[in-house]
Amino acid sequence: MSNEILDFTESNQSLSKAQSKEFFRSVYSYMVLALVLSGAISYWMAASGNVFEWFLNQETGAISTFFYIVVFAPVGLALLVQMAYNRLSMPVLLVSFIAYAVLIGMSLSTIFLLYSIGQIASTFFISAGAFAAMAVLGYTTKTDLTKMGSLLYMAFIGIFIASIVNFWMGSETMDWIISIVGVFVFTGLTAYYMQNFKAIAEDTSIGAVDKRKLALIGGLQLYILFINLFMSLLRILNRD
């Protein structure tokens, strides 16, 4: 009897490990997919030489309606995916996820007008290193990051609001402060989310369909954090 219990326990542990690996494989796959899509779209738009035609009204020189759609529509998509995932099908979530990555790619096309390829590439690798380090820390730490995560999430919302305000103010000092604070917030949230993902991955009570949806949301969250970390470091490291 004891041997049967031991075998059952070992079988459950093996299943849990396999499910955990599959979950994280899916999370990272979605994140990489989004990064590739955004990178390809942003480079294509910049290479076409028509960025200003996309984002500016050619008659008045004012910011176009399309620009506002590209900048603010992703906010709605991100909220939709994360808050209504249990009511949406996987195909709808995936389409929303891809649309989000494409829109972010469009908005990122402007960085090629402001920074050199070398600056963008070096900042990308620095961001990847910092991101990976915090992801490993979040996965391996035994410390409960829940309280820290709650505070950082509130700070994230504050950064978002401050960024919108500064979009109209155009303050370089405010932009500098937001970027510096952002580095700490985005790296800290990376560790926090990784700890959450670990708990989700090891939870055998979550159904297969929900696990797939949560993996997509996890990929979206990590993608958002990485992009924001990258943009913050790009502004800090290449400030004139």
Domain count along the chain: 1
Q: What is the pLDDT of residues 196-221, one digit of tens each?
A: 999 999 888 888 889 999 999 999 99
Alpha helices by DSSP H, the chain? 2-48, 51-55, 65-83, 90-108, 111-114, 117-140, 146-169, 172-202, 208-237
d(CA 218, CA 28): 8
Closest CA to 156 of 106, 229, 209, 91: 229
Say what the pTM is: 0.89
Check residue 7 and give its pLDDT. Answer: 46
Q: At what angle do helices 172-202 and 146-169 cross, to 10 degrees?
A: 150
Quick one: average pLDDT of 100-110? 93
Backbone angles phi, psi at 32, to 5 degrees: -65, -40
- Residue 144, class by beta-carbon neighbours within 10 Å (0-12 exposed, 13-18 middle, 19+ buried)? exposed
Range(s) of the domain holding residue 133:
2-237
Check residue 5 and give its pLDDT. Answer: 47
Q: How many CB atoms lie within 10 A of CB 201?
A: 24
Is pLDDT of 2 > 50? no
Check residue 227 and give its pLDDT. Answer: 97
Is pLDDT of 29 > 70? yes
**Amino acid residing at 200:** I
User: How confident is the prediction for the chain on average, in pLDDT?
Assistant: 87
Check residue 206 and give its pLDDT. Answer: 85
Is pLDDT of 151 > 50? yes
Check residue 82 and give its pLDDT. Answer: 85
pLDDT > 90 in the chain, percent = 59
Q: How confident is the model at residue 28 (pLDDT cuts 50, 70, 90)?
A: very high
Check residue 1 and give its pLDDT. Answer: 53
Check residue 16 and give its pLDDT. Answer: 63
Lowest mean pLDDT among 69-83, 96-110, 210-224: 69-83
Is pLDDT of 8 > 50? no
Closest CA to 153 of 179, 126, 191: 191
